[in-house]
Amino acid sequence: MSRKADRDQIRRQNRAIILQALRRQGPMARIDLGQITQLSPATVTAITSDLLDQGLIEGIEADEPKGPQGRGRPRSMLRLNPDAACVIAIRLSVNSIEMALANFTGETFFTKRAAFNSAAADAKSFPPILIAAIRSFLEDAKLSPDKVLEIGIAAQGVVETETGLVAWSPAFSGRKIPIVQPLSEAFHADCALSNDTNMITEALHWSDPDRYSGTFAVVMLDYGVGMGLYLDDHLFSGANGTAAEFGHANHIPGGALCRCGKRGCLEAYLSDYALVRAADGLPETTSPDGIAAGQSGLATLIDRAKAGESGALQAFHQAGTVLGYGLARIVALIDPKRIVLTGAAVRAFSFMEEGMKSGLEEALVADLRQNFEIDVLPWKEDYIRRGLIAQAMERLDRGHTGETAHGRPARGSYPKEGAPA
């Protein structure tokens, strides 16, 4: 009985569709907006009139494309007001807080990276560090905290989207690090915490919805192993927000020692330390803590494989086979149309490919092996940021109605809850 069709809900949905079309396609005339959104002219007129009134969009005159006679008539277009809202995208990783500010068009206009000490960061010490880093970031950007309506945070590891805690992550020595509550209180903004690979998944859908829609999975091979699941046309994060923990899905009972303390996790075969451990011929039970890996370790290992060193080649081949088994389990359980492989380690994909194919074939009955494709995507640092911004914009477009209890907001800005009127 929860699916009650609600007039206000529909209005907000249509409003979000129009805002997203303008963000995706840029300025356009009302008639084109109607064609692209398939909304009726009356609906487009009513919604854009409200949006103009609220200062979220603005009318501009733009020249039409020139005809054969070389004349372009000026035409009335609509575009998003870039200053209507501002969001912060934050990526938390080992020793690093990466921050970006985006305007209402989704464009990033200011970025900064702050350092912190992961080895000493726990539930008590980290929130004040993060808040101070954001305050200093906003000062550098000369932006009042009042202007920030959404903060999106991505972290590696086991992230509880529902409670807003990072349950466990290589970025922190402590567990259950609260993120959403302290940030909401400090900045009176709407905050959302996500797994970093979920944000890559969101970014792929946003940048190429024709290719990345329906049901697909993203695997990030990097420092650690991440996964994002897009199921039946939406990002899936499970009952507690901890789904898609591919790295800590068991591969072999009693197998290689994982950073999480368990044995046989996929991460213990696929991540940077696992590859170095295997290439150097160390026992599977060697503690990950004692292995110098990380970005530079991985880069060195790739060079060793390129130079034809057998230990490195074998390590990548074994990792490929394990990856094939892992993907086979995903195919059996999720039945994705597409699996995307990305992350720093895909630079070594050519050394893993053969192993991956044999793993898939050994693990999966032929009937299930025919219906999916694998995309190997070169890693781009800004995927996560783009996903955070896309998600924050969607929350803005859907959540805020542009009206407060005291009436319409000041022209040119969203109302901010909790902020002085």
Residues forming contacts to a second copy in the complex (CB under 8 A) are: 1, 3-5, 10, 13-14, 17, 21, 36-39, 158, 167-168, 175, 214-216, 227, 229, 231-232, 234, 236-246, 248-250, 252-254, 260-265, 321, 325, 328-330, 332-337, 359, 362-365, 367-368, 371-372
Q: Compute the least distance from the CB of residue 122 to a second copy, in Å.
A: 15
Which residue is it, tokens 């230990």?
311
The encoded tokens of residue 127 equal 């929130």
Which C-beta is closer to a second copy: that of 14 or that of 184? Answer: 14
Q: Compute the least distance from the CB of residue 154 to a second copy, in Å.
A: 17
Task: Give SS3 for 309.
Answer: coil
Which C-beta is closer to a second copy: that of 84 or that of 322? Answer: 322
Which C-beta is closer to a second copy: that of 253 or that of 308? Answer: 253
CA dihedral 305, 310, 311, 316 (to 10 degrees): 50
Which C-beta is closer to a second copy: that of 110 or that of 236? Answer: 236
Cα of 92 vs its chain's centroid, Å: 12
Side chain identity at residue 159, one-letter code: V
Q: Compute the least distance from the CB of residue 63 to a second copy, in Å.
A: 26
Q: Considering just the CA atoms, what is the radius of gyration of the chain in Å? A: 24
Q: CA-to-CA distance for 13 and 226, rounded, in angstroms? A: 31
Q: Compute the least distance from the CB of residue 294 to a second copy, in Å.
A: 22
Q: Compute the least distance from the CB of residue 22 to a second copy, in Å.
A: 12
Which C-beta is closer to a second copy: that of 16 or that of 101? Answer: 16
Q: CA-to-CA distance for 199 and 154, rounded, in angstroms? A: 7
CA dihedral 106, 111, 115, 118 (to 10 degrees): 10
Q: Compute the least distance from the CB of residue 9 to a second copy, in Å.
A: 8
Which C-beta is closer to a second copy: that of 17 or that of 101? Answer: 17
Q: Distances from the Cα of 361 to the Cαs of 255, 322, 329, 352, 358, in angstroms? A: 21, 12, 12, 14, 5
Q: Compute the least distance from the CB of residue 74 to a second copy, in Å.
A: 28
Which C-beta is closer to a second copy: that of 55 or that of 157? Answer: 157
Q: Compute the least distance from the CB of residue 416 to a second copy, in Å.
A: 27
Q: Distances from the Cα of 241 to the Cαs of 166, 177, 388, 395, in angstroms? A: 10, 15, 16, 17
Q: Compute the least distance from the CB of residue 328 to a second copy, in Å.
A: 6
Q: Distances from the Cα of 268 to the Cαs of 52, 186, 235, 274, 277, in angstroms? A: 54, 38, 26, 5, 9
Q: Distances from the Cα of 129 to the Cαs of 167, 191, 258, in angstroms? A: 18, 17, 29
Which C-beta is closer to a second copy: that of 62 or that of 260? Answer: 260
Task: Give SS3 for 338.
Answer: strand
Which C-beta is closer to a second copy: that of 184 or that of 358? Answer: 358
